[in-house]
Copies of this chain bind each other. A is one copy, B any other.
Amino acid sequence: MDITQFVAGSIGQWKSQRSAHHMIFGHFEAVRSEIDIVTLTPDNPAVIELCQAYEIDPSQAVSPFQMSWEGESDWDEKEVLKGSTVLVPIPDPNHPNRGLLLRDRGYAETMAAAAKYHITEDCVFVLITEYDRAAAEERIWFVNPNLRFRVSTIKTSDGTGVVTASFSSELREMSKS
């Protein structure tokens, strides 16, 4: 599986159940959300701007896409979790299953972030984002074409402590039209 196939399989509307385990106190959090993933054309201004911010030639971008989400957590039912981000894969020319994933903002940040990805032989997409004081690892795989799993961990940046572990099951919404 390469990044083009991975992105192609991800396009669509997904109904997500996410469980977060806050490890230190053993808390559980449940989040329900709708996720919408759409393709972007390589000449989309947001794609070009993001490449330029990282001084990368936009012609190296492959399968750019946009992800939007809207959901709610059982921790704070008043708060609506809502956002959207542009994602641009930049495959490593020497290792087709590795590369960078540019993102115009992270889930919890307002800053742009460049993460490293690789796809394992077992077809798991692994994404590692390093922040100043923490690192995030995501492992995403397809159970079948209509069901995607995502396991995320947030670690302290020295790698010793896992602060949060979370699991999402994302079920493709059947077309309403």
Say yes or no for A11: interface residue by CB 8 A criterion.
no
A-B contact pairs, 11 of them (CB 8 A): A15-B26, A19-B21, A19-B28, A19-B30, A21-B167, A23-B147, A30-B30, A122-B124, A124-B124, A144-B160, A167-B167
A residues in contact (CB < 8 Å) with B: 15, 17, 19, 21, 23, 26, 28, 30, 32, 120-122, 124, 143-144, 147, 149, 151, 153, 159-160, 162, 165, 167, 169, 171
Main SS at interface, chain A: strand
Q: Which chain B residues lie closer than 8 Å to A149 at the CB level?
A: 151, 165
Chain B residue nearest to A166 in the complex (CB): B167
Bound CA–CA A150/B147 (angstroms): 17
Bound CA–CA A19/B32 (angstroms): 14
Q: Which chain B residues lie closer than 8 Å to A120 at the CB level?
A: 120-122
Q: Which chain B residues lie closer than 8 Å to A19 at the CB level?
A: 19, 21, 28, 30, 167
Chain B residue nearest to A146 in the complex (CB): B162
B26→A28 contact, CB < 8 A: no
